Amino acid sequence: MALSKAAMGAASRCQCDNLMKFYKKCYQNQNVCVTMYFGIKCRITCQGVKQMIEVKNLTKRYGKIKAVDDISFTVDTGEVLGFLGPNGAGKSTTMNIITGYISSSSGTVTVDGCEILAEPKKTKQKIGYLPEIPPLYVEMTVRKYLEFMFDIKRVKLPKKEHIDEVMHLVGLDNHGKRIIKNLSKGYRQRVGFAQALLGNPPVIILDEPTVGLDPKQIIEIRKLIKNLGRKHTVIFSSHVLSEISATCDRIIIIADGKIIADAKADELSSALSNERRLVVTAEGKASDIAAEIKKIPGVLKVKRNGASSDKATTFDVEYKPGADIRRDVFNAMARIGCPILEMKSGGESLEEMYLRLTENSKGGEE
């Protein structure tokens, strides 16, 4: 819901504060976001459990090749969604379709209730997009460029203040007069970022925003994305897993144009790994140890791990989900007199899971 300008026109700052308190109280149970513009204009958006982006049966064909193959998903308001997949999996294509840069062969995209094909202008106004290569006019200065983007995005906020604000947010203060051509890659990325944030769009889409940045910049950008998630709905893509799991609420894994996993970040790793591997390092004769561990009920597979020293050998022990074999292993090793040097749960890391999932999907196709 939104208050009309006329109604708010007369409202003093003090009244506005009270109104904010009032609305926050009224909508206690729902996530209410109250935005204030310079004390007078007041916009109140009510964020219940609402879908901001809905993608339905999206397919994109290039000739016979399907770059995106029947993808459907939804993103809730305020959610940070990570798009994960190897290069060429269809991440960028999907993002390009959502932002209206290219069209889909079939399927629909709805952003905040507007369909991109039916109301392109209205929909595009709701999206800030940072493509893989930031769309910068390199011969312009940073400020001139942002002013241009401000104009073509038809932003209705006060120009100078808003651009200052956005530049401050991405750490571009004092860079307004620099010509983009002379900026380093990290700073160019920031300009691209600033451009996507102009006009405070409810949806922000970032295509591999951290590629080519140095570690410090990557951490800064991640922090920025996390902060954005409070006010905006964010989709961002990456092929770096740790990055996605560090910043996202939810992860969608894409490979060969298909969604192969869609879950909350923490669920994904725990659901798929499910405590079924143990890494044991013990001192003694390798074959004896392996034979002894194999006897333990619940053990499925014992594999020698590459990392072994002269005396000690490391084994990967795979066991039935749910069976806790740590005590049995301890007893068995004690029985044959091989001291355990190290024993740890080898819960599948996100990296391994990601590789396994993307490999599987490829295997299925061939």
Shortest CB 112 distance to other proteins, Å: 14
Sign of the CA dihedral with 163 first, then 169, 172, and 173 last: positive
Which residue of 100, 176, 186, 284 would you call a contact of other proteins, by CB under 8 A?
A: 100
| Among the listed residues 247, 143, 132, 248, the one whose alpha carbon sits nearest the alpha carbon of residue 195 | 143
The C-alpha atoms of residue 44 and residue 17 are separated, in whole angstroms, by: 12
Per rule CB under 8 A, count of chain residues that contact other proteins: 30
Q: Which two tokens stand for residue 302?
A: 């014992």
Per-residue binder mask for other proteins (CB under 8 A), 135-164, x = binder: xxxxxx---x---xx-xxxx----------
Among 77, 94, 189, 195, binds other proteins (CB under 8 A): 195
Q: Report in angstroms the alpha-carbon separations of 351 from 236, 239, 273, 356.
A: 18, 10, 11, 9
Q: How far is the CB of 210 from other proteins (least distance, A)?
A: 18
| Helix axes of 185-197 and 159-169: crossing angle, nearest 10 degrees | 130
Closest approach of Cβ 323 to other proteins, in Å? 52
Give whichever of 167 and 241 is closer to other proteins, judged by the CB atom: 167
Return the number of the residue (131 or 346) whose C-beta is nearest other proteins: 131
Residues 56-95 that bind other proteins (CB under 8 A): 62
Residue placing its CB nearer to other proteins in the complex, 141 or 305: 141
Site for other proteins (CB under 8 A): which residue of 23, 27, 37, 101? 101
Q: Is the Cβ of residue 133 or residue 271 nearer to other proteins in the bound state?
A: 133
Binding mask 119-138 for other proteins (x = CB under 8 A): -xxx-xx-x-x-x-x-xxxx
Compute the distance between CA of residue 339 and CA of residue 334 in angstroms, rounded to an integer. Answer: 7
Q: Are 76 and 245 in contact (CB under 8 A)?
A: no
Helix (H, G, I), strand (E, B) or coil at 217: helix
CB-based contact 169:194 (threshold 8 Å) = yes
For residues 126 and 153, the answer to whether their CB atoms sit within 8 Å is: no
Q: Kindly tell me which of 23 and 101 has the beta carbon lying closer to other proteins.
A: 101
Q: How far is the CB of 1 from other proteins (least distance, A)?
A: 24
Nearer CB in complex with other proteins: 44/127: 127
Cβ at position 42, least distance to other proteins in Å:
24
Site for other proteins contains 231 (CB under 8 A): no
CB of 248 to other proteins, least distance (A): 22
Q: Are 136 and 190 in contact (CB under 8 A)?
A: no
Quick check: 78 and 230 in contact, CB under 8 A?
Answer: yes
Burial class (CB in 10 A: 0-12, 13-18, 19+), 182: exposed
Q: How far apart are CA 362 and CA 366, in angstroms?
A: 6
Using alpha carbons, list the distances in angstroms from residue 125 to 17, 24, 81, 100, 199: 28, 27, 20, 11, 8
The residue (of 99 and 238) whose beta carbon lies closer to other proteins is: 99
Point out which residues bind other proteins (CB under 8 A). 62, 96, 99-103, 120-122, 124-125, 127, 129, 131, 133, 135-140, 144, 148-149, 151-154, 195
